[in-house]
Structure 1
Amino acid sequence: MLQQGRTRAGTKADVITVVLGTWFSVGLFLDAWAHSNLTELESFFTPWHAVFYSGFSATAAWICWLVYRNYQQGRRGLNAVPVGYGPAVLALPVFAVMGVLDYTWHSILGIETDIEILFSPTHLGLAAAMIVIMATPLRTAWLDTSRDKPSFPALLSLGFCASLVLLFLQYADATVYPAEAIVERFSYEQGKSTGIVGKLTASIFVTNLVMLAPLLFAARRWTLPFGTATTVQVIVAGLSASITAFSNLGIAAALVLSGVATDLLLVKLRPSEQRVVQYRLFGFLMPLITWLFYFGGAIVLTGRFPTVTETWTGVPLVAALSGLLLAVLFVPKPVPVRL
């Protein structure tokens, strides 16, 4: 007997999806570590690729099982796909094809060990498909109208998606700088700032948008519980630590602490589309808090202040202003209706 209508996978299923996705993501972080810290990679068949692709296989098998289970219950076509899982079902074969193409690419052109890894077409295809797959628990929670708060799998999904975006913006990732480098970059001689402070400053603004946008996005849909920002920052800090072979744990810890402070701000302001002033205030204050913790951590760890006070004190303020602008773009004023 055919059963009609689509079903929800349920929170337990989403937990399994995000756990397998974590396995999947850890494999990618290990691969990022290898490409960043091992100068001679001569083979596609590596332990980190094994973790990465086995994580994908496990995730794919689980999602296919959810569809098959619904098929066994009599659902056909789109009705066999749980709500929110449709894009992932489409992304699975895309990822598999990109994996084969990536092996072919490496066989012909060799293994990348520098910034070109972030621009390889096959890697970009893998990353895009992976983000779609990892966002599944976030989509299922978003589409569940009975929820006024995100599930924990949704928060993990949000954090992993942000970290994957930041991974492929690694050339503009401010989280990977150790404390000593941060202080040195903002201690340049007058008239000699070009190329010294500029790269880190630009990286801060890019990283700022990647870390703030997911929270502004989620706040449009839910009342965000305490722990939301910390979850995102722990995952982002874990990514930066893996890339640097855990040489910047102090800065990673500062980012996690900024997440705790941001969670206190979320609880106090409760930003939402209906609370526009609080929403925009959050867009301003979250970056200010994050980058004050960032520079504060660098100062504490090195025991000295950057010598150019104007730049390191002004950068968090510019980041805050850009966050305010992003909040305005996310929730703009209604367009006046012509009468």
Structure 2
Amino acid sequence: MTAPIALSCGEPAGIGPELALRAWQVLRDSCPFVWIGDPRHLPPDSPVAELDDPAQAMDASATALPVLPHRFAAPATPGIADPRNARGVIEVLERAVGLVQSGAAAALCTAPIHKKALIDGAQFAYPGHTEFLAALAGVERVVMMLASDQLRVVPATIHIALAQVPQVLTPALLRATIEITARDLTRRFGLARPRIAVAGLNPHAGEGGAMGGEELDWIAPLIAELAAEGLQITGPHPADTLFHAAARARYDVAVAMYHDQALIPIKTLDFDRGVNVTLGLPFIRTSPDHGTAFDIAGKGLANPSSLIEALKLAQRMAAG
């Protein structure tokens, strides 16, 4: 890897800045990255190397946290979001995307943002990080994958009410989700024919129509179509038997129908080391699988494991 990973600062009042420092302390010799943000927001007395060019991070990382300075409107108080800094958070994301698109950064890793602060301070018009990055990249549809050493999961629907899932979950959406997942597992993870397991929507995958008809009506026929087109895909499987160790050995990724069906298993198996990967972008993007954690920000209690794993995964994907 000839360019560093770009790490966006995220919400300055959250745990992102302190985790960036702790991640650098662990990865300084093995996974160079450059933090983009306001140095004032880092923990006091952080060893910082302010850079003009991301390429300088490769040398600077041995002795200090490499930083591309981006001045914000206000200081940061841990645990208390300041709407004056909302525009700076957005600008850092825009700058980071520009770096990966130009090749100056090998991949993008994003620290967590706080949506309400962005709405209050900058009228942020996107549901979250992922949708904003897709808009910056000019991509219509992206897919969220949560990954760890033990499991990869993709929810077909994400942040919507459970009552809305049957209406939002359409054949077109599920097909696009599976196709993007298969393509990026090949392109980004080097799996020539990824093994895809698809969960059912209903308990026991509908149990032959006794507990819901979606599996018989269209989910199973769609899976059969995709298999006929060359995908290595099985299902629909009952979700309650899809995530034990023997089942996980039979697939590379599980596609689930809604948020909790996908995220409960991975967070149970590997809560601290799960990584959020956005599939379908023209560049690599990872992020830790946690939020801003205002309640512990600045107290030295935050666990850096997920950010460390997100940076390491971005490095592996870029190298591949």
The structure with more strand, counted as a fraction of residues: 2
The structure with more helix, counted as a fraction of residues: 1
Q: What is the TM-score normalised by the length of structure 2?
A: 0.28
Larger Cα Rg: Structure 1 or Structure 2?
1
